[in-house]
Structure 1
Amino acid sequence: MKQLAILLSDQYRLLSVAAILDVFESVNRFYIADGKQPAFDISLYNSGTDNGERMLEFNGYPVRSILDSQKQDIVFIPAFVSVDIAQAVFENQKYVPWLQQQFKAGAELACVCTGAFLLGATGLLNHRQATTHVDACKQFANFFPTVKLQADKVVTGDGGLYTSGGSTSSFHLMLHLLQKYCGKDIAVRTAKLFSIDMDREQQSYFSTFSPVQEHNDELVTKAQRSIEADYQSAGTIEELIKDLPSSRRNIARRFKHATGITPIEYLQQTRIEAAKKLLIETNQQMTEVMINSGYSDPKAFRKIFRKSVGMTPTGYREKFYMG
């Protein structure tokens, strides 16, 4: 029986903990139904105090203290509910030594979504592959520049350290671990029980283009506004910035410094975001979507869309259409 710990970190996302419990409790029921001992001994841990008082129980499980914990085989770190990730990591520094000790003793560490920030804070991910929620990747890269961020990956595993993308990607992480510890049959049975698409490998089609706006560069702000207003009709980036009081080279340099991407990349991402919106919110024909998002060449539109989103425009509509 494998020792599986779930860390009840400060500001943990309840959905993450519930999903982990649901999946591994279900696997234990599979084993019991087959006349076997449960595969996992599940425990929940926190720092030992909660606003000065010990949390004694969580959903029927006694909550143990990391101060007197035993060696685990797997430790799960849930996502954070807080949008202030830096503050959440700061509040959870007390768990860093324990995670380091567990890993040194042979435990594998697995984190869900933004839980990767706490794992990153241990230093264990340095020079290893990792992923996190697609919209948090830029912040993660800034916090942990030596980590080999795989922004498009649903799951990564590197040397006993596992990370996953957005919340539903946690199921793919758990399937990966179940296949390792319990075999493919159990992983498939679990996937069927929870209706999980086992073949999903990318999370880029869940991303949303959220451009940097607070940079205090008025020239760049004007360039952004120009792109956002005329992306449908302009043929080139030069047409969009021709009236700005500066050279193209200077605008490009300042734009990249302020937003992290070039004006051309900004134009492309603005157009792709518009195309995604049209694909899922309207019944426009594909040619209309292409033209209304600023493209004129069907082949180029499909190529750029697939590269940016991870699937074709048709596939994106089939998956997410809201009509």
Structure 2
Amino acid sequence: MLQIGILLMRHYKLLSLAAITDVLDTVNKIYHKNGQSTPFTIHMVHTAETAHLAAAFPDYISHGIDVATTFNLVLVPSFTTDDLKQTITANREYVPWLKQQYKNGAEIASFCTGAFLLGASGLLDGKIATTHVDACKDFSTAFPAVNLLSDKTVTHDAGIYTSGGATSTFHLLLHLLEIHCGIEIAVRTAKIFAIDMGRDKQSYFSTFQPTRNHHDDLVATAQQRIEASYQEAATIEEMIKDIPSSRRNIVRRFKQVTGVTPIEYLQLTRIEAAKKLLEQTGQQMMEVIFNSGYNDPKAFRKVFRKTVGMTPSEYREKFNAVR
């Protein structure tokens, strides 16, 4: 029987924890109905400050991190807050505990933004990982020693697992079930929860969210120029030519503030515009291409696929609301 510890952290996301327990409970019921021993014993693990949270989960064993228990698998749910730096500080007591569990032989899996707690522990240094697609930039900045694969739904490296955002939780759970219970149970669980198995990418769920909370007027002006004129088939030099600074200085400051170069910013702005047209309109593909600032269909499709992870037609088929 696998001993599983689920962390009851400050600012944990209820949906994440509910998905984890629901899937594990369902598998236990499958085994029980078949007259077999259940494969999982579930523990809710808390600190002194989060002990009160255990009252919401009366059906599970609960105990503090000070209790000497070694788990086979430790699960780190997602967080609700966007202030992940403060959230990690609030949950810092789990960091040495996670490191000790891993040292004792436990596997560890984080879901969505729960990867930030693993990142803070140093256990992901030199390993591959993923997290919510829209949190990847902040994760890379905070933990540069981690090999972040932002487009991946699930990663596994040396006994540490991570998943992408939201419903990617289910894909990681299925992956863990396949490892510990076999493919038959994983497939049966996928059918019960109506999960499409095999999705390994999440890049097409990303939304370009430009950095605006800065105080660099020059960069802000460049951003405004690009966003106001992205539909024009113009070069980036034409868009920023009237800004009173050298191109080299603009590019340097722009990347320092936004994390991308002006030309990358232009491409991301255009692709985001194209995605919205594909989602919300019935425009022909050539109209979408021209209305998002491109005049070369081949170049558009190449950039779109590289950025989004699928072709424009595939994206429209998946997300278009106009039928």
What is aligned with 1:289?
288
Distance of 1:226 and 1:57 partners within structure 2: 51
Letter of the 1:302 partner, please give it: R
When structure 1 is superposed on structure 2, of 264-273 and 142-151 the one drifting more is: 142-151
Contact 2:8 2:50 in 1 (8 A): no
What is aligned with 2:141?
142
What is aligned with 1:175?
174
Write the deviation string for residues 188-227 of structure 1: whole angstroms up to 9, x where unpaired.
1111111112111111111111111233221211111111
Distance of 1:259 and 1:198 partners within structure 2: 35
Distance of 1:125 and 1:81 partners within structure 2: 22
Q: What is the deviation of 1:69?
A: 4.5
Letter of the 2:88 partner, please give it: V
Contact 2:128 2:147 in 1 (8 A): yes
Write the deviation string for residues 272-319 of structure 1: whole angstroms up to 9, x where unpaired.
000011111111111111111011121111111010000111111111
Q: What is the deviation of 1:54?
A: 7.7
What is aligned with 2:72?
73
TM-score (norm 2): 0.96
What is aligned with 1:117?
116
When structure 1 is superposed on structure 2, of 14-23 and 188-197 the one drifting more is: 188-197
Contact 2:102 2:108 in 1 (8 A): yes
2:70 counterpart SS class: coil
What is aligned with 1:219?
218
Distance of 1:258 and 1:80 partners within structure 2: 26
Q: Name the CA shift for 1:166/1:206 in 2 (closer, same or farther; >3 Å).
A: same
Letter of the 1:321 partner, please give it: N
Write the deviation string for residues 233-265 of structure 1: whole angstroms up to 9, x where unpaired.
132112211222222222222211221111110
What is aligned with 1:94?
93
Distance of 1:253 and 1:123 partners within structure 2: 31
Letter of the 2:114 partner, please give it: G
1:67 counterpart SS class: coil
Distance of 1:161 and 1:231 partners within structure 2: 42
1:276 counterpart SS class: helix
Matches within 5 A, 1:185-224: 185-224=184-223
What is aligned with 1:108?
107
Distance of 1:221 and 1:261 partners within structure 2: 14
Distance of 1:238 and 1:49 partners within structure 2: 55
What is aligned with 1:246?
245
Contact 1:57 1:63 in 2 (8 A): no
1:202 counterpart SS class: coil
Q: What is the deviation of 1:57?
A: 5.0
Letter of the 1:229 partner, please give it: A
Letter of the 1:203 partner, please give it: Q
Q: What is the deviation of 1:70?
A: 1.6
Write the deviation string for residues 129-162 of structure 1: whole angstroms up to 9, x where unpaired.
1111111111111111111111111111111111
Distance of 1:154 and 1:172 partners within structure 2: 7
Distance of 1:286 and 1:69 partners within structure 2: 61
Letter of the 1:38 partner, please give it: T
Which 5+ residue runs of structure 2 have no aligned equivalent?
A: none
2:118 counterpart SS class: helix
Distance of 2:226 and 2:140 partners within structure 1: 26
Distance of 2:172 and 2:162 partners within structure 1: 7
Letter of the 1:149 partner, please give it: L
Distance of 1:219 and 1:55 partners within structure 2: 51
- Give aligned pairs, total: 322
Distance of 1:227 and 1:151 partners within structure 2: 25
Letter of the 1:298 partner, please give it: P
Q: Name the CA shift for 1:194/1:54 in 2 (closer, same or farther; >3 Å).
A: closer
Distance of 2:212 and 2:157 partners within structure 1: 35
Q: Name the CA shift for 1:54/1:220 in 2 (closer, same or farther; >3 Å).
A: closer
Stretches of 4+ aligned residues off by more than 6 angstroms: none
Identity of aligned residues (%): 58
Q: What is the deviation of 1:56?
A: 4.1
What is aligned with 1:29?
29
Q: Name the CA shift for 1:168/1:268 in 2 (closer, same or farther; >3 Å).
A: same
1:68 counterpart SS class: coil
Contact 2:153 2:164 in 1 (8 A): yes
Distance of 2:76 and 2:288 partners within structure 1: 41
What is aligned with 1:17?
17
TM-score (norm 1): 0.96
Contact 1:48 1:55 in 2 (8 A): no
Letter of the 1:9 partner, please give it: M
Write the deviation string for residues 68-97 of structure 1: whole angstroms up to 9, x where unpaired.
142111110001111110110001011112
Q: Name the CA shift for 1:273/1:57 in 2 (closer, same or farther; >3 Å).
A: closer
Q: What is the deviation of 1:177?
A: 0.8
Distance of 1:19 and 1:130 partners within structure 2: 21
Which 5+ residue runs of structure 1 have no aligned equivalent?
A: none
Q: What is the deviation of 1:59?
A: 4.9
